[in-house]
């Protein structure tokens, strides 16, 4: 099935946005993949964090149905690139619905989104900015597809 | 002491290069940090990997003296962002010479460079492209400085 990447709002850093687009194009040459930018909570200061996460959770939920949901989460499961490639291949073959990766916004993901996850995955023990996380995730998906499809990928 | 980031050759992806510059500028507002691009082996195909790594190792060595050397290496030590910030702060205070991070090129680092490392550090169990590794490292250094200097950093 195809891949979906869902996150609140458009990437603000213009250069990271370009890198995103480059990877998305490469991924789409091998497997259908789309990015969905959901509602972002605007005009609220960080002290209203619960409200922000509530608005963003509602935005994300609109796009979730029977998807296989992988939430990016600091304390999630770590794996290496080959293990990730195997997971992605197996799930793509076994699962009749889209595989959907969710990356939180500035404040992360609300608990009720995390609870819907089939898998919580961590890219690193280090904390990355949410925009850099998007790029790293795209690069890993591209790498995974080159691993399973046996293509050469310039490191 | 100041920070140095050393790697073979200029980042080819123009957008990642811009992101690098953005982080470098932010880091320099808090601590002196420079990027040194060393010799890259040109015109050799990947089957001459030993020769490539030899040329790149010689290029890196020209810039290494009494530095505290941290090599980025897949099988190196993993840590979280707070632990990395503490390590960086402690080493900066204790060590009278520059702290130098080395990121390998396309093929990684020669053994003799790894042997000079005071610390081998891994950013993730996942394998990142060497150009993305540069950006992730810069973001972590910036994050580390905001943690130790108590500044707010937009996630």
Mean per-residue pLDDT over chain B, rounded? 93
Q: Which residues of A touch B78 (CB under 8 A)?
A: 124-125
> What confidence score (pLDDT) does residue A151 get?
76
Please determine, for residue B155, whether its predicted confidence score (pLDDT) is greater than 70: no
Distance between CA A72 and CA A130 in Å, rounded? 10
Distance between CA A12 and CA A32 in Å, rounded? 24
Cα–Cα distance list, B31 to B6, B80, B92, B118, B142 (Å): 17, 21, 10, 21, 9
Mean per-residue pLDDT over chain A, rounded? 93
Query: What ipTM does this complex have?
Result: 0.93
Distance between CA A7 and CA A5 in Å, rounded? 7
Nearest Cα residue in chain A from B78 = A125
Residue-range domains of chain B with CATH = 3-148 (3.40.1280.10)
Residue-wise pLDDT for B79-133, tens only, equals 999 999 999 999 999 898 999 999 999 889 999 999 999 999 999 999 999 999 9
Residue-wise pLDDT for B60-86, tens only, equals 999 998 999 999 999 999 999 999 999
Contacts of B69 (CB under 8 A, 6+ apart): B100, B102, B116, B117, B118, B119
Q: Which residues of A touch B124 (CB under 8 A)?
A: 78, 123-126
In the stretch 18-77 of chain A, residues with CB closer than 8 A to chain B read 18-19, 22
Dihedral Cα B82, B84, B90, B96, nearest 10 deg: -150
CB of A152 less than 8 A from some CB of B:
no
Query: A61 pLDDT band (50/70/90 cuts)?
Result: very high
Token reading at A31: 């497997």
Query: A8 pLDDT band (50/70/90 cuts)?
Result: very high
Q: Which residues pair with B119 in a beta bridge?
A: B70
Query: B150 pLDDT band (50/70/90 cuts)?
Result: confident
> What confidence score (pLDDT) does residue B43 get?
83
> What confidence score (pLDDT) does residue B83 get?
97
Q: Which residues of B touch A19 (CB under 8 A)?
A: 13, 15-16, 19
Query: A18 pLDDT band (50/70/90 cuts)?
Result: very high
DSSP state of A127: P
Q: Pick from A113, A97, A96, A115: which is nearest to A105 by CA?
A: A113
Nearest residue, CB atoms, B155 vs list A18, A81, A106: A106
Please determine, for residue B9, whether its predicted confidence score (pLDDT) is greater than 70: yes
For residues A104-122, give the mean pLDDT.
94
CB of B9 less than 8 A from some CB of A:
no
For residues A105-116, give the mean pLDDT.
93
Token reading at B34: 């420079």
Nearest residue, CB atoms, A132 vs list B84, B106, B136: B136
């Amino acid at each position: 099935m195809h891949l979906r990447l869902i996150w609140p709002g458009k990437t603000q850093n213009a250069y990271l946005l370009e890198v995103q687009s480059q990877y998305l194009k490469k991924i789409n040459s091998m497997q259908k993949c789309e990015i969905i930018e959901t509602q972002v909570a605007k005009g609220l200061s960080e002290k209203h964090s619960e409200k922000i996460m509530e608005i963003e959770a509602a935005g994300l939920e609109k796009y979730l149905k029977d998807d296989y949901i992988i939430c990016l989460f600091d304390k999630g499961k770590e794996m290496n690139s080959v293990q990730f490639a195997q997971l992605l291949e197996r799930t793509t073959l076994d699962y009749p619905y889209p595989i959907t990766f969710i990356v939180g916004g500035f404040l992360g993901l609300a608990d009720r989104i995390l609870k819907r996850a089939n898998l919580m995955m961590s890219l690193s023990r280090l904390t990355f900015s949410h925009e850099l996380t998007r790029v790293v995730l795209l690069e890993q998906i591209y790498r995974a597809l080159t691993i399973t499809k046996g293509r050469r990928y310039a490191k």
